[in-house]
Amino acid sequence: MSPPGRPKGESRSAQREGRPVGPPGRPKGESRSEPREGSPMNDAAEIGAPPLAQAMWIAAVASARLREGMPLERGLALAHERISAQIGGRRMHPRAAAAAKDIAFTAARHRALTDALIARLATRPPSEPVAALLGVALAQLATARHAAYAVVDQAVQAAKQDGATEGAAGFINAVLRNALRQFDALVDEAERDDAVRHNLPSWWLQRLQRDYPQHWQAIAELQREPPPLVLRVNLLRTTRAAYLERLAQAQLDATAVGTAGVWLHQACPVERIPGFTAGEVTVQDAGAQLAAEWLDLADGMAVLDACAAPGGKTAHLAALAAIDLTAVDIDAERAQRIDQNLARLGKHAGATVRVLVTDVLRAAREGRLPPDHYDRILLDAPCTASGIVRRHPDIPWLRRPEDVAQLPTQQARLLDALWPLLAPAGRLLFAVCSVFSEEGSQQIQRFVARTPGARLIPLPVRGGSGRLAEPTVQLVPAETDAGTAEGWPGVHDGFFYALLEKQS
């Protein structure tokens, strides 16, 4: 597998020398700087791609926040707001936010490499804002999406616009030009380190190697790639066959995955996905789609969806049977997305849905969630999210080794608090989007050992043989067209599942 952003068999230098330069809508060889007073670039409503310097500036500010522990999505929103206010909203290109997100995510996917290059090239350790802007620019050089000279020029222009970096504009220029003179050799040297080559903190890589001694490299390589775009077809509004035909008519290449999933091979904004606004489809990883199916719902059941936001699984549950569904999440802002998803997709199959914004642990202890009541419980527990790094490349840089101890403790508390809410013969599906054994198999082994009456129910396995799995299922990130008779997808993120039944 070639490094992300580089065609197979093509060297970095070959791409850079090809000068594929710049965004569409600009003559080759013409660079853009950040719009200034008196510049024709002041009007952001112009036709074409956003100025590279503007997008890099936003991305660098967000990347600096990431270094302080803020998730990229939040950092990008704050950076866009701050910079728009600073330069005036009219001068902010309408597509700057989207371009900045792409640049920031690219930088996160090359964080280990760019940190190594900065350490090698900088004569002194740069400040966090300067390091972030250098990281953004070096990642653009590594992927060769723009001509090298344009990246350097626009990085310097971006530096001059921000008080935190303007004094280092010359330093940034010198470091980037020095990097260009020896880029391939520097990258080859840095990538002798497995952690740099796979873009992971050393402690994270060591856990992967311990849990997956035969497959850690494949997992790490795949998680450096952008994620696949997988949809769940709302089968109460259309059939998957009809939807695939609709995509074919729109000349969109797609593959069926799982029982209701569609892998859209060309990513695009959700508003441009056919049928999305009308609620015919929703974006949901094929591995995540297994959760609702495995709960084996029937009309009249009382169902609890704990830790429910943003609501993809909630909507899926509501579409499968006429259930009495309670969805709980502690985050009010994220809980709003549950209502939004339900409104777009519809509360199908006669289900009634109640959304509670509260701490599910407290609600259980205070009796607001009644004991011995729920026929089914879905616990999609907080975790390291080590299985969804493709979608959130900032995750390895936000986590710390101690999180892999603290989060399993939180998961155990949730399991212990929710178990009494389950009715006799009821079932609880435990799910985490993690590939770490502490949050998966080890967690469930400990729970069953300390909980009388907790019995594991085997789940279907891949392979079309009709066999039953061992009591738990660990999915690792995968991307292939192959499917199975049981409906397991061949493309999915990393998930752990365990289905527990309460013996009376």
Written as tens digits, the pLDDT of the chain (504 aa) is 333 333 333 344 434 333 333 332 332 333 333 333 223 233 343 447 789 999 999 999 999 999 999 999 999 999 999 999 999 888 899 999 999 999 999 999 999 999 999 999 998 899 999 999 999 999 999 999 899 999 999 999 999 999 999 999 999 999 999 999 999 999 999 999 999 999 999 999 999 999 999 999 999 999 999 999 999 999 989 999 999 999 999 999 999 998 899 999 988 888 899 999 989 999 999 999 999 999 999 999 999 999 998 989 999 999 999 999 999 999 888 888 888 888 888 767 788 999 999 999 999 988 899 999 999 999 999 999 999 999 999 999 999 999 998 999 999 999 999 999 999 999 999 999 999 999 999 999 999 999 999 999 988 655 444 455 668 899 999 998 655 444 467 899 999 999 999 997
Is 307 known to be catalytic? no
* CB 49, CB 73: distance < 8 Å: no
Q: Is 122 exposed, middle or buried (0-12, 13-18, 19+ CB in 10 A)?
A: middle
**Domains in the chain: boundaries:** 12-197, 229-283, 290-502
CA distances from 148 to 20, 176, 187 (A): 9, 9, 15
* CB 343, CB 415: distance < 8 Å: no
- Whether domain 229-283 has CATH 3.30.70.1170: yes
d(CA 354, CA 31): 54
Q: Which residue has the tokens 């695009």?
A: 268
DSSP string across 268-328:
--GGGSTTTTTTSEEE--TTTTHHHHHT---TT-EEEEES-TT-HHHHHHHTTSS-EEEEE
Class of the CATH domain delimited by 12-197: mainly alpha
Q: What mean pLDDT, rounded, does the chain reach?
A: 87
Q: Which residues pair with 429 in a beta bridge?
A: 378, 499
Rg (CA), the chain: 24
Enumerate residues 6+ apart whose C-beta is below 8 A from 218: none
d(CA 257, CA 380): 22
d(CA 487, CA 287): 11
Q: Would you give the DSSP letter of residue 59?
A: H
Could you report the per-residue pLDDT of 323-354, keeping only the tens digit for each? 999 999 998 888 888 888 888 887 677 889 99
Q: Are strands 422-432 and 374-380 parallel, antiparallel or unpaired?
A: parallel
d(CA 472, CA 444): 8
Q: Biggest alpha carbon distance in the chain?
A: 77
Could you report the per-residue pLDDT of 97-138, keeping only the tens digit for each? 999 999 999 999 999 999 999 999 998 899 999 999 999 999
Of these residues, 268, 307, 383, 433, which one is catalytic?
A: 433
d(CA 315, CA 309): 10
**Two tokens, residue 395:** 């995750």
pTM (two decimals) = 0.86
**CATH fold of 290-502, please?**
Rossmann fold (3.40.50)
d(CA 430, CA 343): 26
